[in-house]
Structure 1
Amino acid sequence: MPDFQQLMREATRLTQEGDLQGATHLIQSALRGQQRAAEPAANEDVVIDVEAREVPSADPAVAHRLPGPARAPQARDTGSEPPPVAERPAPRRDTTDAPGAFVTGRHGGTGAAGRDYKLYIPPGAGTEPLPLVVMLHGCTQDADDFAAGTRMNEAARAQGFYVLYPVQSKQANPQKCWNWFKHSHQQRERGEPALIAGMVRSLMARHAIDPRRVYAAGLSAGGAMAAILAQTHPDLFAAVGVHSGLAAGAARDLPSGLKAMQAGAASAPRAGAGVPTIVFHGSGDHAVSPVNGEQVFGAVAAGDVQQDTPAVSGGRRVTRRVARSANGQVRAEHWRIEGAPHAWSGGSSAGSYTDMRGPDATAELLRFFREHPKAA
């Protein structure tokens, strides 16, 4: 609808001023048009919308737009409506699971009852069990975009692990955001956590995947969903990574989700389920407040011995906080990246929502995962 962006900008302004009732009214008015266009399966699958910003690229010829955890990125504010975002063609559904292939599949039923996915199968995959990394994209992204921006498939080819990219559908959320802010998607046997876990188990039954080395990570809305998976399925995931996301239970509905993105959860997020967690968050993130990264870390690291190590990585100053249990085991890391925006740190210009200047989040994520297999 032509005035959607204007309504959402006004709703963001009201949220920042503390008028959640007014913001909610505007968002619901705007979303009625969006939901009719997208034909969502359920009335509660609504979108949280935030003001998007852009990251200046290290290459002047490339501009990376920043995703809010629940909105399509906008063009620069020139006083005109942003151009429509072109839809990617439907991916070809491969029928063979050959090593080195990036195959497409589906788990669950039709429409919002299931989800498409892409799976990278590393060369040499066969009978020897290999790790699996589940990558949860941000809003408006898809598997190909997220794989290109994070370079995760290249790392999987070099190091030997599977990569699964569940894909959010527009029927479940018009902007393809994982519904982290809905109470119905924060439980073990309901909603998107159950769908993603079922997808993982199905692939484990078909491929030689090591059950002790199954991990999940995500950006923005995907990072928030990764934190939820650590809460709902600690038996399945050995460790998780949360990039520019929010803690599990930070919101229960639309108004509390908007408020959490601006100022963190109103109350302390529920304690972690013991799943080791690595967190990345930029201090210059204007879509999801950096306090959310601190809350994700705090939910896991409560009561642990913590130590800060300042450094410079990828041209940005970084503070790496490590939490260790009484026996010296690292249980959580928090990478606060000074000046970094709402984007994948150290990512590639081949994908959207990346900041090439920061430390290599993909490399550090995989290093953390290698250090944290499940106990035998």
Structure 2
Amino acid sequence: MNTAPLPDMAEATRLTREGRLAEATALLQRRLRGMPPSAAETFEAPQLARNGMPPGTQRPRIIDVEPEAGEMVDPGEVVHRGRPEEARASPWQVAGDLHGSVAPQAPGALRGILAGLDAGGLAGKPDAMRRAPTHARARLPEGAQFMAGTFTAEAGSRSYKLYIPSTHRGEPAPLIVMLHGCTQSPDDFAAGTRMNTLAEEHGFLVLYPAQPSSANAQKCWNWFSPADQKRGHGEPALIAGMTRQIMRDHAVEPRHVHVAGLSAGGAAAAIMGQAYPELYAAVGVHSGLACGAARDLSSAFSAMRQGAPGALPCSGKPQGVVPTIVFHADRDATVHPRNGDQVIAQSGAAASTALRTEVQRGQVAGGHAYTRTIQADAEGRPVLEQWLIHGGGHAWSGGSPAGSYTDPRGPDASREMLRFFLDHPHGGAGAR
């Protein structure tokens, strides 16, 4: 396959960073088809080379919404036709310029080019979600298992990885369900969050459902699709069914089943907490969005940029507060930190009385400062906890560089989520 010349790649990188995905894709399509540059491109590329990128305008690509799930008909505008099953499998349709269009290009080729642009153009930026270098598979502790499996139900099929620590002796143990972000895998997410290491220390099981590229080309959970926001339907039904299968097949303490996720996985975790409050005792949302924050691709991009407007419709109706812990960085340019506020507000909406708030501030030695806000019920039991990481970007706080999309400068989101989960069994604080 022919590739675009380097100046064109630089221009596509600039457009991608500025969130002008349709224009970037159209540029690459024209080059792959051997078409000459437009007049605007002929002017803009030399200006970019002479002057550099304007300060304050660099933004990472939006990775939590796969443009292949809909049609991009105008530069910067995404329109979803309301048929996610049909659109999800269709190739990109992108406007070539303001007056004409370009025939669809093979989506796999364009994905590869844009992924290369992202990896090369964002390295070293404060908000870059860096990919981890390729490492040999980590050696398991003697007696531990990291087994692969598949769950199949009416809603479809999903593979998964299940970590059973070497310390597990068959007694009922807590279960944490971890939902990865876009482009990630169970192995990658496990490495980046170090959750398996914590499982060795504390004796719990970890389930990592895997989103295949057949369901979303970027392997994102489809949190923005109404069909995947409902109890008993779509991806929520698959994740809940998989959780229950693990509970049947292994010794799991039913009062200590929890769900957490990053980015698109964080948005999916928020949905699971709202849709299945009797199953998941507590929820962890890292750099994610509230249930119902979007209903299609257009509103998804909008919510990611600035938070969801107005009330957030969600099919779940918990009978009480869903204990929730949120991590979000104040310099997250991929998912606006306002979304973290909305996750907390949604989880606390079912409180029967006003929650009391306590604010703490701290600093990780050699790392980020943070603000931790705790909301407690009338009996003084903390039920909501929000960590705002100052200076951080769109990455798992305190994660390991062995996995992708991590920020080792802390605080340690994995440990704090585990502590919160162990403090919130069903029947404890925030019981429904």
TM norm. shorter chain > 0.5: yes
AA of the residue aligned to 1:167 = A
Q: Who is 2:106 aligned against?
A: none
Q: State the distance in 2 between where 1:340 and 1:355 align.
A: 8
**TM-score, scaled to structure 1:** 0.78
Match of 1:342 in 2: 394
Shift of 1:275: 1.5
1:100 and 2:144 are equivalent in the alignment: yes
Deviation at 1:46, TM superposition (A): 7.3
**Cα distance 1:139–1:25, how it changes in 2: closer, same or farther (>3 A)?**
closer
User: Could you tell me which of 253, 264, 272 is aligned with 2:296?
Assistant: 253
AA partner of residue 20 (structure 2)? E
Which one of 13, 17, 20 corresponds to residue 10 of structure 1?
Answer: 20
8 A contact 1:11–1:27 mirrored in 2 = no
SS in 2 for 1:211: strand
Contact 2:70 2:87 in 1 (8 A): no
| 8 Å Cα contact 2:174/2:253 also seen in 1 | yes
**2:251 paired residue number:** 208
Q: Is the 8 A contact 1:305 1:326 kept in 2?
A: yes
Deviation for aligned residue 1:99: 5.0
Rounded Cα–Cα distance in structure 2 between residues aligned with 1:72 and 1:242: 25
> Is residue 372 of structure 1 aligned with residue 392 of structure 2?
no
Aligned-pair distance for 1:352?
A: 0.5
**1:164 CA displacement:** 0.2
Matched with 2:355 is 304
Aligned to 2:409: 357
Q: Which residue of 2 aligns with 1:82?
A: none
- What amino acid sits opposite 1:10 in the alignment? R
Q: What does residue 77 of structure 1 align with?
A: 121
CA deviation string 1:338-374 (max 9, x = no partner) = 0100000000010000001120001100000010011
Alignment of 1:277-356 (within 5 A): 277-302=324-349, 303-314=354-365, 315-356=367-408
**Partner-residue secondary structure (3-state), 1:42:** helix
SS at 2:291 equivalent: coil
| CA pair 364-277 structure 1, distance change in 2 beyond 3 A | same
Matching residue of 1:163: 206
Shift of 1:12: 7.4
Identity of aligned residues (%): 49
**C-alpha contact 1:322 1:332 (8 A) present in aligned 2:** yes
What are the superposed Cα offsets for residues 45-80 of structure 1, whole Å, 9 maximum, x if unpaired?
Answer: 379x9xxxxxxxxxxxxxxxxxxxxx95812339xx
CA distance in 2, matches of 1:247, 1:104: 30
Q: Cα 1:46–1:249, aligned 2, differ >3 Å: closer, same or farther? A: farther
Q: Whole-Å Cα distance in 1 between the matches of residues 424 and 152 of structure 2? A: 30
Tell me if structure 2 keeps the 8 A contact 1:219–1:245. yes
Q: Deviations over 1:79-125 (max 9, x none)?
A: xxxxxx99x9xx9xxxxxx9510000010169x82111000011232
Query: 1: distance between equivalents of 2:236 and 2:382?
Result: 26
Tell me, which stretches of 5 or more residues in structure 1 are unaligned? 17-23, 31-40, 50-70, 79-84, 92-97
- Structure 2 portions without partners, runs of 5+: 25-56, 58-66, 74-83, 93-113, 123-130
Matched residue, 2:270: 227
For residues 275-319 of structure 1, what are the alpha-carbon distances to aligned partners after superposition, in whole Å with 9 as ceiling and x for unaligned?
200000000100000000111111223431112111112521111
In terms of Rg, which structure is larger? Answer: 2
Say which SS state the counterpart of residue 76 (structure 1) adopts.
helix
In 1, the alpha carbon distance for the partners of 2:71 and 2:311 equals 27
Establish whether residue 129 from structure 1 lines up as the match of residue 139 from structure 2. no
**What corresponds to 2:162 in structure 1?**
119
Structure 1 residue 326: deviation in Å? 1.1
- Structure 1 residue 44: deviation in Å? 4.2
In the alignment, is the contact (CA less than 8 A) between 1:72 and 1:140 conserved in 2? no
Q: Deviations over 1:131-186 (max 9, x none)?
A: 00000000000011000000000100111000000000111000000000000000
Q: Is the CA contact (8 Å cut-off) linking 2:175 and 2:258 kept in structure 1?
A: yes
2: CA distance, partners of 1:198 / 1:320 = 34
Q: Distance in 2 between the 1:196 and 1:77 partners?
A: 35
Matches within 5 A, 1:172-187: 172-187=215-230
Contact 1:215 1:369 in 2 (8 A): yes
Q: What SS class does the counterpart of residue 162 from structure 2 fall into?
A: strand
CA distance in 1 between partners of 2:169 and 2:23 (Å): 54
The answer (yes or no) to whether the contact 2:236–2:271 under 8 Å persists in 1 is yes
Q: In 2, distance between residues paired with 1:293 and 1:29?
A: 28
Letter in 2 for 1:138: G
Q: Would the aligned equivalents of 2:194 and 2:400 in 1 still touch at CA under 8 Å?
A: yes
Q: Could you give the per-residue CA deviations for residues 24-55 of structure 1, whole angstroms, max 9, x where no partner exists?
A: 8996249xxxxxxxxxx9324379x9xxxxxx
- Paired residues in the alignment total 321
Partner of 2:45: none
RMSD in angstroms over aligned alpha carbons?
A: 3.3
Please give the secondary structure, in 1, of the residue aligned with 2:380: coil
